[in-house]
Amino acid sequence: MAAKKSGLGKGLDSLIANKVNISSAVENEKKPELDKDVVFIKTTKIEPNREQPRKYFDEDALLELSESIKQYGILQPLLVQDKKDYYEIITGERRWRAAKMAGLKEIPAIIKNLNNQEMVEISLIENIQRENLNPIEEARAFKKLLEEFHLKQDEVAERVSKSRTAVTNSMRLLKLDERVQQMLMDDMISSGHARALLAMEDQEKQYNLAQQVFDEKLSVRETERLLKKLQNQKETPPEKKEDDKMRIFYEDMEQKLKSIIGTKVSIHTKDKKKGKIEIEYYSTDELERIFDLFQSIHHAKKI
């Protein structure tokens, strides 16, 4: 069935003339009256689009959706393309995955004939509208539209209903070290942290800083301050070499204490012989754990 031309930037509603509510969860029931463009297709005849931007699916969220499908059915049809031997998903992969988990034998869909660029654009638009993409998936999708389909940033921004600046800032995240990108995808750091870390061009230092942000639970503002401090550091004059030795000594001691206690430890010196040790904790459970650790060391000494 030939697809009608429509403006992709206007969203997915322009691709489906009439929204329909469909439930096919109960096998052997008479199928409800459908919009003329909606058909039922066997779930085994449908396959995901390998080029779709979204790569990660939350298993718990899929389970919740499958339970909802068991009770109410699928309330919005998939958008698919006929590939002769199978139907390729344009939008609705999450619904298809959940439908399989729910045990549905067939699923409502609308068949469209689209070129590769239109498929990428529509899939990207749907995921952005539903806020399904993590920042790196979104950035990679924008890059794909620019490089493979030779669109300009203004054109990409118009199609996805975002500002040109938003698209540019999104794609800048791809300059991060790949390990840092993975940390962003795994929610170990936020987009704000990631944008701040772009100021550190050395990839290894950038990754180490990202680890520090995660380990010490630094806020975005604290991360920015740390980066600024590192960037403003000047070459140490020769007369400060002795101070450097002591600083390295105390930093080494802090790391050793951190590895023993399992949390951030800071040493504050008053002079060469005196100072104080500051131990951080982030919950009452962690405080009790630290107390138990000290208590076990105290008992071990008595023995």
Nearest to 128 by CA among 297, 20, 12, 261: 12
Calpha distance 197→205 (Å, rounded): 10
The residues annotated with a catalytic role in the active site are: 93
Inter-residue contact 55 to 185 (CB < 8 Å): no
| Count of helices and strands (H, E) across the chain | 12, 7
Strand, coil or helix: 279:
strand
Give me 23's structure tokens: 């439930």
Burial of 208 (0-12, 13-18, 19+ CB in 10 A): middle
Inter-residue contact 9 to 160 (CB < 8 Å): yes
Phi, psi of 110 (to 5 degrees): -115, 130
Calpha distance 106→33 (Å, rounded): 16
